[in-house]
């Protein structure tokens, strides 16, 4: 009998051979030259076929067929573009034409790599643990920290203590890189005193919680070095890695550890990063919970596609790893600043296996300002480009060919800023300077280019419509490109130059302000606006060139809409709440007890939750809290028991025949605090429900309408604030 892992390998290999055969046939058919009328009819036929398949159930056969038909249209365009649209007119035009052709070639390469990666999505179920707890492996929970707020670290530590796992097999470690001897003896007095104060608070917290506090001499090799220094103190068979702002659910180990018992060559079970606060785009454009979050595309689709090809990789947190595997490669890799994917690549190349469990088991925080967002994204971009240069998967002889392609896709994606910048400025080169960078007539454009663009649009919507609105992807990439391109260029010049930068969290904004990163967008927006105005003038003044002018003008207007939306994101909205509110709907009771012992119990509905407090809705007024003790009683369906949380009212308002109450949780000791942490952050089913609620597709046209309308509104608001000067750009 063939072992299951060997059977999977044979299946993937057969699948790959089939895809190679189909791709070879597509190349041959795409190469054939036909009349423009035949090409137009052929394109129309395939586009209609794609529209029909979109309406069918998204089963494996139809998914593959959809991508094959899309691939045919893309290849038809590529071969036509290569053979018939490149011509030397003058030196400037030639440079622009080559740059645009290179950007398009990159986009086509990424289309096929993405199609391969996402051709089949694997959805694993948690492997149940055995009844015999003595057979369960021991687990070390490590929480690396650098400069995060003590209160934020406290939530994660307490949530770690709440994890449901045998106490004798679970050890928790705080790895404080903000408390190294290097930090505690820094020459800068203010930095030295701040480091000492923070380290002292964390040591006290760890002592009270029964958590081991670890630090080291010097801050070498960033997060990887911090974790490697701690390995000498660890003895567990498995390691659960958590970022300092990733509070684990109580069942994070019971849903992940079973897979390691089942497969002795498994080195990783990665789970999604689930965030309870909006990123800058969601916050500043008021789209949080109205659209799928930005990271869903990666965690809902791409990682599952990678998992099918046995290429899902470590994402730095919310993951369980096998200690034996980490030791085999000499610890966590620290050559690049993305130690997670680098470590996974090494282990995959040694024959170790990984799993991706699509089940949210942590609740984390993501950057809330565009500055911190870019710090994070530039680190990812630089690290993945470093990985591509220093650990090129195409040169890893022990990797399976499908793993090489998957890693190549993940790494090559981060070169997008170069292509995006070219797409932004290309229309202006034609409209403003008359550079001939795209040789084609209107008939060829509609026969080849339009079907190609529609194929890309429909494919993206078909694969990711429930995970990312298409126009949103354009905005995110546009915003990142103007800054990431310099970071990536520095890596290309010196691959070992980048240094790890920690992403700021729990930021508060006392007032609205214009982001300090706005200035480059003013230049690009101004140039694009000028190109649009000049294009409109040329459209009416030069009827002979009206066809290509109109097409280029449409492209420039689309870019202008993207840039306006980007400016909307760069108008930072105030954020005074430190603890994000999580939308819920929980039936509970408000219990108020008087000093004499009498009690009143009133039904309420909890509408949101946070560590700071909650919002309640009731049809009845709550008793005055003066001279009373009060609490929230919630029935736990899982334990079939009532849980109580001390609380008090901080504000009240009326809404029709209902009362809205803002409450805060009152805790007097660490155990009551731990209970509140468990209530707010411990239930993974709540994250699963919120994740499913965001899994909606409003339709291609509707999602684009919402995004365009929203982007224009907030973009114009940014410009109004800029030219009216009521607020200044923060530096």
Give the C-alpha separation, 379 to 373, whole Å.
10
Q: Which residues contact 541 (CB under 8 A, 6 or more apart)?
A: none
What is the spatial distance between Cα 260 and Cα 280, in angstroms, rounded to a whole number? 37
Neighbours of 311 (CB within 10 A): 26
Strands 353-356 and 266-270, how do they pair? parallel
Residue 29 in tokens: 């058919």
Which residue's structure tokens are 């971009």?
Answer: 381
∠ CA 593-595-600, rounded to 5°: 20
Answer for the pair 238, 327: CB distance below 8 angstroms, yes or no. no
Q: What is the Cα gyration radius of the chain?
A: 28
The label of the residue with tokens 């809705």 reads 617
- Token pair 């170069």 in the structure block, residue: 418
d(CA 232, CA 648): 46
Question: What is the Cα–Cα distance from 528 to 214, expressed in whole angstroms?
Answer: 53
The 3-state DSSP class for residue 416 equals: helix
- Give the C-alpha separation, 477 to 484, whole Å: 10
Check residue 282 and give left, alpha or beta (phi > 0: left; psi -120 to 50: alpha).
alpha
Q: Of residues 221, 243, 245, 340, which has the active-site annotation?
A: 340
- Exposed, middle or buried by CB within 10 Å (0-12, 13-18, 19+), for 350? middle
In 10 A of CB 634, how many CB atoms?
17
Residues 146, 245: Cα–Cα separation, whole Å: 11
Q: Are 436 and 28 in contact (CB under 8 A)?
A: no
Q: Would residue 177 show up in a list of annotated catalytic residues for this protein?
A: yes
How far apart, in whole angstroms, are the C-alpha atoms of residue 441 and residue 548? Answer: 7
Q: How far apart are CA 574 and CA 512, in angstroms?
A: 5
User: How many Å apart are CA 304 and CA 296, to the nearest integer?
Assistant: 11
Provide the β-strand partners of residue 363: 247
Pairing relationship of beta strands 582-594 and 599-609 according to DSSP bridges? antiparallel
- Nearest to residue 564, comparing CAs of 707, 386, 458? 707
C-alpha torsion sign, points 366, 372, 374, 375: negative
- Paired with 654 in beta bridges are 659
Measured between alpha carbons, how far is 406 from 308 in angstroms, rounded to an integer?
10
Which residues share a beta bridge with 593?
599, 629
The DSSP secondary structure of 287-313, one letter per residue, reads -TTTS--TTHIIIIIIHHHHHHTT---
DSSP conformational letter for 249: P
Residue listed under structure tokens 């706005």:
518
**Nearest 5°: phi and psi at 79?**
-70, -40
Please state, in angstroms and rounded to a whole number, the distance separating the CA atoms of residues 163 and 201. 23
The distance of Cα 430 from the centroid of its chain, to the nearest Å, equals 35
Q: Of these residues, 177, 243, 307, 683, which one is catalytic?
A: 177
Q: How far apart are CA 167 and CA 253, in angstroms?
A: 12
Burial of 726 (0-12, 13-18, 19+ CB in 10 A): exposed
Question: What does the angle CA 313 – CA 317 – CA 321 come to, to the nearest 5 degrees?
Answer: 60
Helix (H, G, I), strand (E, B) or coil at 467: coil
| Contact yes or no for 615/661 (Cβ under 8 A) | yes
Active site residue ranges: 177, 340
């Amino acid at each position: 009998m063939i072992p299951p892992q060997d059977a999977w390998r044979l299946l993937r290999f057969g699948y790959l051979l089939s895809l190679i055969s189909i791709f070879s046939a597509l190349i041959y058919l795409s190469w054939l030259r036909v009349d423009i009328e035949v090409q137009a009819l052929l394109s129309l036929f395939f586009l209609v076929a794609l529209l029909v398949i979109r309406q069918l159930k998204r089963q494996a056969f139809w998914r593959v067929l959809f991508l094959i038909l899309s691939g045919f249209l893309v290849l038809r365009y590529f071969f036509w573009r290569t053979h018939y649209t490149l011509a030397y007119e003058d030196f400037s035009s030639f440079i622009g034409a080559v740059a645009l052709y290179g950007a398009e070639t990159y986009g086509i390469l990424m289309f096929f790599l993405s199609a391969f990666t996402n051709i089949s999505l694997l959805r694993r179920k948690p492997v149940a643990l055995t009844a015999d707890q003595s057979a369960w492996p021991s687990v070390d929970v490590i929480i690396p920290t650098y400069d995060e707020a003590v209160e934020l670290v406290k939530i994660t530590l307490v949530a770690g203590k709440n994890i449901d796992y045998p106490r004798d097999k679970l050890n928790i470690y705080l790895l404080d890189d903000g408390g190294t001897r290097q930090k505690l003896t820094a020459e800068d007095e203010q930095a030295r005193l701040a480091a000492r104060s923070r380290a002292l608070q964390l040591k006290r917290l760890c002592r009270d919680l029964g958590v081991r506090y670890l630090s080291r001499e010097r801050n070498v090799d960033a997060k990887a070095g911090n974790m490697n220094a701690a390995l000498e103190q660890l003895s567990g068979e498995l390691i659960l890695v958590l970022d300092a702002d990733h509070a684990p659910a109580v069942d994070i180990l019971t849903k992940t550890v079973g897979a390691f018992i089942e497969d002795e060559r498994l080195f990783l079970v990665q789970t999604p990063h689930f965030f309870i606060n909006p990123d800058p785009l969601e916050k500043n454009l008021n789209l949080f919970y109205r659209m799928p979050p930005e990271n869903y595309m990666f965690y809902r689709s791409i990682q599952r596609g990678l998992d099918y090809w046995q290429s899902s990789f470590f994402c730095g947190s919310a993951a369980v790893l096998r200690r034996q595997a980490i030791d085999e490669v000499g610890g966590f890799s620290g050559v690049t600043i993305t130690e997670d994917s680098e470590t996974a690549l090494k282990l995959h190349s040694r024959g170790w296996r990984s799993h991706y469990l699509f089940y949210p088991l942590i609740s984390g925080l993501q950057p809330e300002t565009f500055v911190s967002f870019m710090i994070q994204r530039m680190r990812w971009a630089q690290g993945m480009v470093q990985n591509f240069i220093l650990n090129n998967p195409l040169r890893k002889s022990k990797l399976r060919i499908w793993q090489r392609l998957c890693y190549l896709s993940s790494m090559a994606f981060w070169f997008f800023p170069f292509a995006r910048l070219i797409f932004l400025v290309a229309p202006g080169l034609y409209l403003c300077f008359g550079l001939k960078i795209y040789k084609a007539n209107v008939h060829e454009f509609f026969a080849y280019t339009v079907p190609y663009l529609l194929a890309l649009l429909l494919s993206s919507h078909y694969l990711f419509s429930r995970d990312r609105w298409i126009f949103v992807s354009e905005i995110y990439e546009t915003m990142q490109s103007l800054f990431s391109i310099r970071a990536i260029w520095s890596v290309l010049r010196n691959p070992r130059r980048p240094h790890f930068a920690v992403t700021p969290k729990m930021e508060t904004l006392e007032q609205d302000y214009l982001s300090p990163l706005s200035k480059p967008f003013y230049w690009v927006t101004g140039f694009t606006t000028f190109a649009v105005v000049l294009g409109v003038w040329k459209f009416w003044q030069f009827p002979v060139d009206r066809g290509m002018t109109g097409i280029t003008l449409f492209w420039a207007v689309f870019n202008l809409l993207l840039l306006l939306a980007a400016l909307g994101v760069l108008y930072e909205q105030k954020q005074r709440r430190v603890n994000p509110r999580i939308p819920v709907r929980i039936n509970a009771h408000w219990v108020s007890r008087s000093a004499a012992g009498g009690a009143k119990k009133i039904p309420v509905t909890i509408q949101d939750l946070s560590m700071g407090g909650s919002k309640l809705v009731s049809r009845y007024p709550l008793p005055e809290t003066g001279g009373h003790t009060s609490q929230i009683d919630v029935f736990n369906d899982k334990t079939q028991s009532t849980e109580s949380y001390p609380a008090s009212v901080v504000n009240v308002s009326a809404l029709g025949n209902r009362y809205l109450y803002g409450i805060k949780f009152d805790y007097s000791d660490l155990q009551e605090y731990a209970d509140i942490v468990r209530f707010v952050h411990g239930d993974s089913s709540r994250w699963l429900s919120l994740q499913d609620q965001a899994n909606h597709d409003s339709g291609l046209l509707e999602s684009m309408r919402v995004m365009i309308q929203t982007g224009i509104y907030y973009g114009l608001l940014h410009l109004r604030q800029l030219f009216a000067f009521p607020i200044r750009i923060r530096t």
